[in-house]
Amino acid sequence: MKKRWGMGLIEERFDIYDDSMNWLGTASRHEVHTEGLWHQTFQCWILTDSENLPALLFQRRHPDKDTFPGMLDISCAGHLQAGERIEEGNRELKEELGLDVPFEQLVSCGIYRSDKSLGPHLIDREFCHVYGLQTNQALNSYILQEDEVTGLYRVFVHDVLRLVRGLSSQDTIEAVGVEPDESGKLQYVSRSFTSHEFVPHAADYYDMVFKAFGIDG
């Protein structure tokens, strides 16, 4: 992924760390992922109510993403750039979902160490700074970042728990969401998803999120 800078494009650079989270320097996005260098991400789960039941919002990743293209994942997430503080990570909410939320309004879930080998030349080692946000904002009032997010879906927590415990390949999860039409306007949709359409996260990761929201897993 490259960011626009003036009239051209430059590759993102991230702060890199040892496995004890001691800062070592900076590296390009390509180096970070091919060499398996530890770096930091900001992640935020949005909790909402639907029919008086708690639900989490999942975004569908753009099909051009380098990891898990087209799959359902965390409401909002992104890498911290070199020199960027975690308190600045809430810019991702503005960029991806159009939410202008003060950092102080977020609930800290904790820091999660994620170490995933996604291919022969793609090793993703992240210190994930995980946060939560509670809001009942209407789904069609979000502003989705066109080159990052292609849909936003409300999944009941009891269905997320089914996902964590392990669905069979035949089981599906029903969700209501929004997707942009040809003009870019968000339209409500109903979708059925299988477990293979969700980015895999460990049970203890979800436990950390549920605990921060006061949800019994």
Domain ranges of the chain: 13-213
Q: How far apart are CA 55 and CA 30, in angstroms?
A: 35
* Between residues 163 and 112, the one the model is more confident about: 112
Percent pLDDT > 90 in the chain is 82
- Nearest CA among 88, 122, 81 for reference residue 102: 88
81: which residues sit within 8 A by CB, 6+ positions away?
12, 13, 14
174: which residues sit within 8 A by CB, 6+ positions away?
159, 190, 191, 192
CATH number for the region 13-213 comes to 3.90.79.10
Which pTM does this prediction carry?
Answer: 0.91
Q: How far apart are CA 198 and CA 112, in angstroms?
A: 19
With cut-offs at 50, 70 and 90, classify the pLDDT of residue 120.
Answer: confident
